[in-house]
Structure formats: structure tokens, C-alpha cells
Structure 1
């Protein structure tokens, strides 16, 4: 999935996502933008990449942990791992750290 949606390749051949690529990877109706991977067919409801114009979201910028404005594979894996944590686990962790019950 990472390589499918990644639209940046550095001179060393490493592949990176822009924050908008990360959004496209998570929201299934958004097609890849300038991906290096070629595929056959289209998904129902999918728009052409040129039809979608969106500014980088502050939320997706949070996962650019080194501040280079690119999402590396390691940063992508961190994001996907957070998405896979059940809400109940976040609730339990919050209660553990909210020792004064102030919310």
C-alpha cells in the first residue's frame, strides 16, 4: 500500500509519501496521485487523480516525525499501527494516566 500511494522518490531510490498521499491511502475513495505503481482498472466511485485537489492536513502532518514534510515507510507503519489500536485500549490508557480524574 505504501509504494502504491507514494508519489516521491529521492535520488537514492527511497520512496516517500506526501501527507496528501497518506490521506489517499487511508480514505479508500481517493485514487493515488502520481504513484509510481501502475494498475489495471478502477474502483467504483473513484475519481481521476487530477480531479482531487486538497491541502496537506495538519492531522496527517503529525506523522511526519522528522519534519522533512515527507512520510517515510517507518512513519507510515507508525500511523497504521496507531489506527489498529482498539478505542477501548486508548480509553484504558487514558484512565491510567488521568490520576486526578480531571479529564
Structure 2
């Protein structure tokens, strides 16, 4: 598998772990708490595999940036959290930064 496939798997499992973190209610619920541990464990595993072929700065920026954007979206859809113009602008800036880093990677 290519590095970016592992990276995407890392992002998905990180978002699942983070969503489960909210559902765990401070680790007081067993199944969501287990999903947190499994989600984060798999996320770091896949991130580590992706870093065999992707530079550290790029891999971590994509993992954390895209994961953050998806987590905000999950918060709005699943947990009915509010979204402001500032939140939207912040997500746009994160995505723009990730794109800019990847454009720089292609040029290198």
C-alpha cells in the first residue's frame, strides 16, 4: 500500500477514536473507551507506516489537519455542536495549509 493510503487510514481511525472519546464520557463508558484506545492505536500505527514513504512534516501536517477538519464536521453532524463563521474560516485555513504543503512536496 502507498504511504498516502496508510495516511488516510490513520486519519479515519484517529477521527473514529476522537468521536468515541466524546462518547466515552470521560472514559466512564466501556465500549466507547475501548474504541478510543483501538482508534488511536491504529491511527498511530498507520501514521507510522505512512512515514516510511512520506516526509514527517508533510505526513503529520496532513494527519493532524485533515483529522481536525473531519473532527469538527463530525462534531457538528453527530454531536450537534454549533458552527460559526470563525470555525469555517479556521477549517478553510487548515485545508489550505495542507494543500500548500502538498503542492510544495510535488515541486520538490
What TM-score bracket applies, with the shorter chain setting the length?
Answer: under 0.3
Larger helix share, 1 or 2 = 2
TM-score (norm 2): 0.26
Between the two structures, name the one with larger relative contact order (CA 8 Å, sep ≥ 6). 2
